[in-house]
Structure formats: structure tokens, C-alpha cells
């Protein structure tokens, strides 16, 4: 029987900045399709309030109980919620597991903080196309799952001491599949080491990770401070490449859309000229292009309203979000 260091669930919202959860670790390792290391750093250091809850996230939360029931119906394994939050003994790693599987012949999988099972359960939802359009998902009963989920389940095994973990996935409200993972001590050690290293390097030292996308850059550097930095050979090289790429894009756009100054109607213009007043361009009855009259859109005439009601216009003016304009001279 294993008793683990726990945090009361009600206090976890306030204490989540004290460690990395299972999904956080996937993000800091660059495995999450939804969050970046900068997102995690911003949340843990209090610079952001956490990931904004989406409809998909809310559905996943609501569907968790359903997926757990389907798992039981499919496998015969009864499950039990574990409402305490786990903390690793030596590393800044936290865990909030979905369910623990009750051993056959037993009545419970845990008592208070004492874990009495060697098998846990994680519940997920995915689109109906995920299993067909992604190499991440293998056949049911295998351990071929997206890397971020693999790391999450491995983290939970490290925290609970369980020797196996099942992942039950609802695909597009049509099918529930169960994947089976075995404990991998080498992987667990790597996860704990990488989590500790990242925590010390970025949270304790308060140094942001390298940005991996435009959203990261906007989050890290939302405004300028008026300072001047000197260019180095690398930045000169990047500027030259940017100018080259912009010229290529402009040439391609001119070829596609046309260039009025050069007297060119472009590829799209040539196709429109060929179609004339026709609505469809087909090949053997199959549509290649449609060119139809769109319904007129109703737009608010801001200038007319301002001229007729200047006081109301001023009253309801609202400043937009400030942004930085990037110009290559």
C-alpha cells in the first residue's frame, strides 16, 4: 500500500504555480499541440491567468465521467475517483489523476491518500478524424498514443507508483478505444529530470523559455521601451533573407492576382475572363471553380454616423488593444 504526498483539491488552484502538472510537462517538452513552454512559464510566474477555457475543454471535462463509465463497460474494470492532488517527493511535479482502477476482488482503489492499486485511468476526447488522419494513434490495446498523452500518463505513474495506466479515448462521440501503457522507469527518470531542470532554469531564475511561435513573441514582448540595439551578423543575414522572401511573395502575388501597373490580370484574372458570366467552371461535370454573386453585406456607416451624431460617436469610442508594428527599412 502506498501513501503519497498530496495537496487538498480545493487548494490546488492556488498552489498550481508550485509545480508542473502532467499536461504542463508535455508543453515544456514541446509535445503539446495546444500550449507552448512560454504559456506554462507565463502561468507559473503569474504573468498570465492560465489557459483560457474553450468549449472543447469544457466538453472534455463533462465527458470524463461518461468515458470512465464506457471504459468500465468495455473492460469490466471498476474505477474510483481520486480527489487528492499528488506531489513528487523531490521534484516540482504535481498530478491530478482522473481515476484509479479498483483491483479485481477489492472494493476500493484508494483510501484517503493511500493508493491500493497498480492501475490508473486517464480519460480523453478526440475528433472523429483524429484516429484516421494522425500517426499518433495506433490500434486499440497498444501504447501508441500522442507523445503529450504518453508523458502525462508516465508522470502519473511516477507520482502514484502504479505499474500500468490505461488511456480511454472517445473519438468523435462515436467510439471509445482503450490504450494500455506499462511503467517505464527510464522514461519517468527523464521526465522528472527535465521537469526539474526546466523549473530551475525558467521559474526559479525567472528567465523565459525561447519563443516557438508568433503568439509567444507577442506575449513576451507586447510593447517597446524605446531602447536601441545594435545589429549583429546574424540579424543582418535574417534581414536580407526577409527582404528576399518579401520580394518573392510580391512576385507570386502579382502572378496570381495581377499587376495593374504592368497591365497584367494574373492567373486568377485570366480564369475569370475565360468564365465571363458563367457561374461554374467544370471538367466532366465536376466543379473546378465557382464564381457566383454573393449576397450584399450590411455594414454600419461609421462616417455618416459620426457626422450626424458626433457626441454619441465620441461617447462610444473604444480604444483597441495596443500592438507593435514591425517594419524592415
Contacts 24+ apart (CB under 8 A), 203-207: 203/41, 203/44, 203/45, 203/92, 206/45
The Cα 113–Cα 94 span in angstroms is 14
Q: What is the pLDDT of residue 52?
A: 66
Distances (CA, A) of 259 to 62, 248, 269, 270: 53, 14, 10, 12
How confident is the model over 229-263, as pLDDT tens digits? Answer: 999 999 999 999 999 999 999 999 999 999 888 88
Q: What is the pLDDT of residue 133?
A: 61
Q: What is the pLDDT of residue 113?
A: 83
Q: With a cut of 70, which residues of the chain have pLDDT below it?
A: 1-16, 50-53, 130-133
Residue 250, C-alpha cell as written in the block: 510580391
State what percent of residues in the chain have pLDDT above 70: 93
Q: What is the pLDDT of residue 15?
A: 57
The Cα 115–Cα 181 span in angstroms is 19
Q: What is the pLDDT of residue 9?
A: 45
**Model's pTM, two decimal places?**
0.79
Catalogue all structural domains in the chain, each as residue range(s) with its CATH number: 2-220 (3.90.320.10), 233-291 (no CATH)
Q: What is the pLDDT of residue 17?
A: 73
The Cα 69–Cα 168 span in angstroms is 10
Residue 270, C-alpha cell as written in the block: 485570366
Distances (CA, A) of 103 to 119, 122, 136, 180, 295: 8, 16, 30, 16, 63
Amino acid at each position: 500500500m502506498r501513501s503519497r504526498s498530496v495537496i487538498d483539491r480545493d487548494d490546488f488552484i492556488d498552489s498550481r504555480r508550485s509545480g508542473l502538472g502532467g499536461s504542463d510537462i508535455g508543453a515544456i517538452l514541446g509535445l503539446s499541440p495546444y500550449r507552448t513552454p512560454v504559456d506554462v512559464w507565463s502561468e507559473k510566474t503569474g504573468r498570465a491567468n492560465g489557459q483560457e477555457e474553450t468549449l472543447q475543454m469544457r466538453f472534455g471535462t463533462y465527458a470524463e465521467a461518461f468515458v470512465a463509465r464506457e471504459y468500465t463497460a468495455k473492460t469490466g474494470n471498476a474505477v474510483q475517483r481520486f480527489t487528492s492532488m499528488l506531489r513528487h517527493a523531490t521534484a516540482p511535479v504535481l498530478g491530478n489523476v482522473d481515476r484509479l482502477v479498483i483491483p479485481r476482488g477489492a472494493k476500493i482503489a484508494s483510501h484517503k491518500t493511500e493508493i491500493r492499486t497498480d492501475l490508473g485511468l486517464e480519460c480523453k476526447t478526440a475528433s472523429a478524424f483524429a484516429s484516421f488522419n494522425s500517426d499518433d494513434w495506433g490500434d486499440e490495446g497498444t501504447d501508441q498514443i500522442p507523445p503529450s498523452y504518453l508523458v502525462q500518463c508516465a508522470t502519473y505513474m511516477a507520482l502514484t507508483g502504479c505499474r500500468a495506466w490505461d488511456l480511454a479515448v472517445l473519438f468523435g462521440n462515436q467510439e471509445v478505444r482503450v490504450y494500455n501503457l506499462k511503467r517505464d522507469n527510464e522514461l519517468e527518470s527523464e521526465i522528472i529530470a527535465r521537469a526539474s531542470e526546466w523549473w530551475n532554469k525558467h521559474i526559479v531564475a525567472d528567465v523565459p523559455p525561447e519563443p516557438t511561435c508568433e503568439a509567444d513573441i507577442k506575449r513576451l514582448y507586447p510593447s517597446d521601451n524605446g531602447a536601441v540595439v545594435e545589429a549583429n551578423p546574424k540579424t543582418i543575414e535574417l534581414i536580407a533573407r526577409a527582404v528576399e522572401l518579401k520580394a518573392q511573395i510580391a512576385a507570386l502575388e502579382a502572378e496570381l492576382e495581377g499587376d495593374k501597373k504592368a497591365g497584367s490580370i494574373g492567373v486568377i484574372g485570366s480564369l475569370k475572363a475565360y468564365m465571363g458570366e458563367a457561374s461554374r467552371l467544370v471538367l466532366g461535370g465536376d466543379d473546378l471553380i465557382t464564381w457566383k454573386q454573393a449576397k450584399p453585406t450590411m455594414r454600419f456607416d461609421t462616417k455618416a454616423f459620426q457626422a450626424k451624431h458626433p457626441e454619441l460617436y465620441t461617447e462610444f469610442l473604444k480604444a483597441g488593444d495596443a500592438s507593435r508594428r514591425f517594419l524592415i527599412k
